[in-house]
């Protein structure tokens, strides 16, 4: 449909009506909402008049088919021009059926399951009346102190880009206009929100444009290339300017260079927060700078509705700026079919059938299994089903398995670890003790844990972070397990029983006091609605772990940020155990992470042959094949994630020691050998030069294939141009 009908509609709107389209308000402001009129706290100070809510363009946080239909009906009965509302929400890793957190999903290295998780989330959200999800979050993350690493898929720009495309496709499908079981995606947070100084949320981000383009921007671009309908601004400053008011970032790069014509929305309060940044003098100035930057929707502050009209009357900017923002919003409403069908996919009967259905829960369980990473196994796993198990720890019977941003998900519905164990073994073989709280421990808890351990053949420790310790504003300077849980491990170590640690958390942890004290470690992350069932399947060998890390686990927080695709320095450490003094190293800890990017164990073993190339020369238009044979040398079938890395030996700017260029997740039967091949082209060797041109350099390269970024086989090749 052409823009003409909507330009005609805009011409009928008053300036106040147009400006109101640019504000997003929470449900209490709307008639028909179950919490209508419950405007308290900061919302009460917003000064929203009834006519603003009546003409506003979108609703934040409404859900449920009946609720959204009631709000839309009440709105259209009073809106002068019959312009429907958009319903938007944070559906990050599931609507009611909660999947593992995105960092865990990344560790599955399974793009099909990632897409399926987004599709299921979209189906549940759409049938409940939601039109837009504020997902995917594609911020590249290198600092585990930052609480929001749990929303990212990790530290690699290529892998993050692949997951960004998968999530967008899952949410939006192939035909968003006609498929009312899908929702529009909103990629966030533009840009570089994942690089705050000190790992502290909302903090300063400061980097070169070349670094921004090479590492941080690719995943946003991938999401937009996949058709993502919306972009959310970041809270942080970039090059000294808050992203929400950054014209170079938003107007020049996003809308100009990348030709993005979709809707841009601020994060919660980010327009007004330009004042606290010291970039805007007051709310009027904040409105001016955000509108000039191209931010269409202001979320939960009122700079636009209170000041945009005055700014236009003063000649600060032309009314056409408002018109173009309104046009983009109306076009999205048209694309979603809201003018023809304002309630779109909302359906109370279908909602009962689809939301948290058995098939959706089974998909969540499968992804929880694939996302879990086995970090250590001294032959104790899988468990034998005739052994007496002492299940000990604050997560043994805890329901906090969903993780942050699980919105409609219910902890009461989550499968607990204890429930998973009871489904595997006779109750007479299972004894449970809490052992400690998450952050506190008492002598009576220790005594009870020791009593359980004495009766058991093996101890399974269910440990982790409370979900409040992760997610937005969940930053930690000390990323070890809380001391209470380390004390519990130490107390049980004296029993001289095999110990397995299962971890529930939202970030890579410093695992000293865990990995060195136990016989096996399974990183389960926040595994979602079916977490306990997934963990039990893995521990008892009904599933073979295949997850691989997408963020490095630091040896110590003192290394942070530590990531695989780093530079070499002019004085590199020759070997981890070298004794030289004047090289780039720590005196008290290794340079290397405890567990590197791409790492993860299986219940079987894999052996890699030599890397072979179809040619030792890559030329423009003439890619090569990089191949390796992988053999399952164990006794059971397993999935291996073969990873292709490349190093550019010499460049116009220094190049990373390794860069991921491809991966394959393959099932290999015991004794079977599979030949795996990767295509490597000149385009994959390009990077941003000092003048920001994107090109490759002729010269020497090395290709690596292996099971992780550390354990690889190498083969040299050349690029000839």
Which positions are catalytic?
267
How many other β-carbons are positioned within 10 Å of the β-carbon of residue 686?
Answer: 14
What's the CA gap between 83 and 268, in Å, rounded?
24
Backbone phi, psi, residue 537, to 5°: -60, -45
Sheet holding 712-719, edge to edge: 617-618, 712-719, 699-706, 638-648, 659-668
Q: Is 18 helix (H, G, I), strand (E, B) or coil?
A: helix
Burial of 558 (0-12, 13-18, 19+ CB in 10 A): exposed
Point out which residues pair with 233 in neighbouring strands: 190
Q: How far apart are alpha carbons 474 and 394 in whole angstroms?
A: 19
Quote the CA–CA distance of 59 and 333 in Å, as a whole number: 13
Sign of the dihedral through C-alpha 167, 173, 179, 185: positive
Beta 263-265 vs 298-299: how paired, if at all? unpaired
Distance CA 664, CA 667 (A): 10
Secondary structure (3-state) at 480? strand
What residues have CB less than 8 Å from 391, skipping those under 6 apart?
A: 417, 418, 421, 430, 431, 432, 433, 460, 462
Where b means 16+ CB within 10 Å and e means fewer, 622-633 reads: ebbebbbebbbe
Cα(89)–Cα(183) distance, integer angstroms: 10
**CA 286 and chain centroid, separation:** 29
Neighbouring residues of 523: CB distance < 8 A, sequence distance ≥ 6: 107, 372, 373, 374, 375, 503, 505, 547, 549
Q: CA 305, CA 56: separation in Å to the nearest integer? A: 10
Q: What per-residue string of b and e applies to 514-551 under the rule 16 or more CB within 10 Å gives b?
A: bbebbbbbbbbbbbbbbbbbbbbbbbbbebbbbbbbbb
Q: What is the DSSP letter of 129?
A: T
User: Is 264 in contact with 132 (CB distance < 8 Å)?
Assistant: no
Report the alpha-carbon angle 435-437-438, nearest 5: 120
CA dihedral 607, 613, 619, 622 (to 10 degrees): -90
- What does the alpha-carbon distance between residue 102 and residue 660 come to, in Å, rounded to a whole number? 19
Distance CA 716, CA 612 (A): 10
Distance CA 221, CA 216 (A): 10
Region for residue 92 given its phi and psi (left: phi exceeds 0; alpha: psi -120 to 50; beta: otherwise):
alpha
Q: What are phi and psi of 103, to 5 degrees?
A: -60, -40
- Token digits of residue 549: 């890390």
Nearest to 173 by CA among 343, 324, 345, 299: 345
* SS3 assignment, position 290: helix
DSSP, collapsed to helix, strand or coil, labels residue 659 as: strand
Residues with Cβ within 8 Å of 676's Cβ and at least 6 positions away in sequence, in order, are: 627, 628, 629, 630, 642, 664, 666, 705
> Position of tokens 């040299």?
716
Listing DSSP states for 493-512 in one string gives: HTT---EEEEEE-SS--B-T
What contacts 363, CB < 8 A, 6 or more positions away? 97, 99, 113, 116, 117, 120
């Amino acid at each position: 449909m052409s823009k003409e009908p909507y330009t005609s509609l805009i011409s009928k709107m008053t300036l106040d009506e147009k400006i109101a389209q640019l504000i997003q308000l929470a449900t209490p402001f709307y008639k028909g909402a179950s919490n209508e009129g419950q405007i308290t706290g900061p919302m009460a100070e917003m000064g929203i008049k009834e006519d603003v809510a009546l003409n506003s363009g979108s609703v934040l946080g409404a859900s449920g088919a009946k609720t959204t239909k009631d709000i839309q009906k009440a709105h259209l009965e009073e809106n002068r021009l019959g312009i429907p509302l958009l319903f938007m929400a944070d559906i990050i890793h599931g609507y009611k059926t909660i999947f593992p957190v995105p960092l865990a999903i990344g560790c599955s290295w399974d793009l099909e399951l990632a897409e399926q998780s987004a599709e299921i989330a979209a189906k549940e959200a759409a049938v409940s009346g939601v039109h837009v999800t504020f997902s995917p979050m594609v911020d590249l993350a290198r600092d585990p102190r930052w609480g929001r690493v749990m929303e990212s898929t990790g530290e690699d720009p290529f892998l993050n880009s692949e997951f960004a495309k998968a999530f967008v496709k899952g949410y939006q499908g192939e035909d968003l206009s006609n498929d009312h079981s899908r929702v529009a995606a909103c990629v966030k947070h533009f840009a570089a929100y994942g690089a705050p100084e000190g790992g502290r949320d909302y903090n300063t981000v400061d980097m070169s444009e070349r670094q921004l383009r090479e590492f941080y921007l690719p995943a946003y671009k991938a999401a937009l290339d996949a058709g993502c309908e919306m972009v959310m601004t970041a809270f942080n400053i970039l090059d000294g300017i808050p992203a929400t008011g950054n014209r170079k970032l938003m107007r020049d790069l996003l809308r100009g260079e990348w030709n993005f014509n979709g809707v841009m929305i601020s994060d919660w309060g980010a327009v007004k927060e330009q004042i606290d940044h010291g970039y805007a003098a007051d709310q009027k100035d904040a409105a001016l700078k955000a509108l000039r930057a191209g931010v269409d929707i202001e979320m939960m502050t009122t700079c636009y509705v209170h000041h945009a009209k005055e700014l236009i009357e003063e000649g600060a900017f032309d009314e056409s700026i408002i018109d173009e923002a309104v046009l983009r919003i109306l076009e999205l409403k048209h694309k979603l079919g809201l003018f023809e069908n304002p309630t779109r996919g909302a359906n109370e009967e279908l909602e009962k059938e689809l939301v948290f259905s058995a098939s959706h829960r089974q998909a969540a369980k499968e992804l929880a299994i694939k996302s879990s990473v086995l970090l250590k196994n001294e032959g104790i796993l899988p468990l034998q089903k005739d052994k007496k198990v002492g299940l000990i720890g604050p997560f043994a019977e805890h329901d906090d398995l969903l993780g942050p941003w699980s919105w409609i998900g219910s902890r009461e519905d989550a499968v607990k670890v204890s429930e998973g164990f009871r489904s595997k073994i006779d109750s007479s073989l299972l004894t449970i003790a809490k052992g400690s709280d998450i952050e506190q421990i008492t002598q009576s808890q220790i005594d009870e844990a020791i009593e359980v351990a004495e009766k058991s053949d093996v101890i399974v420790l269910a440990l982790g972070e409370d979900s409040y310790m992760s997610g937005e504003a969940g930053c930690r300077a000390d990323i070890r397990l809380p001391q209470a849980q380390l004390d519990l491990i130490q107390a049980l170590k004296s029993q001289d029983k095999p110990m397995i640690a299962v971890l529930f958390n939202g970030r890579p942890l410093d695992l000293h006091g865990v990995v060195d004290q136990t016989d096996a470690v399974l990183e389960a992350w926040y595994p979602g609605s079916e977490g306990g069932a997934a963990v039990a399947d893995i521990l008892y060998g009904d599933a073979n772990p295949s997850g691989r890390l997408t963020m490095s686990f630091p040896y110590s927080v003192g290394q942070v940020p530590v990531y695989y695709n780093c530079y070499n320095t002019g004085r590199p450490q020759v070997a981890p155990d070298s004794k030289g003094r004047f090289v780039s190293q720590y005196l008290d800890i290794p340079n290397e992470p405890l567990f590197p990017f791409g790492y993860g164990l299986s219940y079987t073993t894999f052996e890699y042959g030599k890397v072979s190339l179809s040619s030792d020369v890559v030329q423009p238009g003439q890619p090569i094949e990089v191949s390796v044979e992988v053999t399952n040398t164990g006794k059971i079938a397993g999935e291996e994630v073969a990873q292709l890395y490349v190093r550019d030996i010499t460049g116009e700017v220094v190049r990373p020691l390794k860069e991921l260029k491809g991966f394959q997740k393959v099932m290999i039967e015991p004794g079977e050998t599979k030949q795996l091949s990767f295509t490597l082209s000149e385009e994959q060797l390009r990077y941003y030069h000092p003048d920001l041109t994107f090109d490759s350099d002729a010269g020497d390269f090395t290709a690596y294939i292996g099971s992780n970024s550390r354990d690889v086989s190498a083969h040299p090749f050349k690029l000839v141009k």
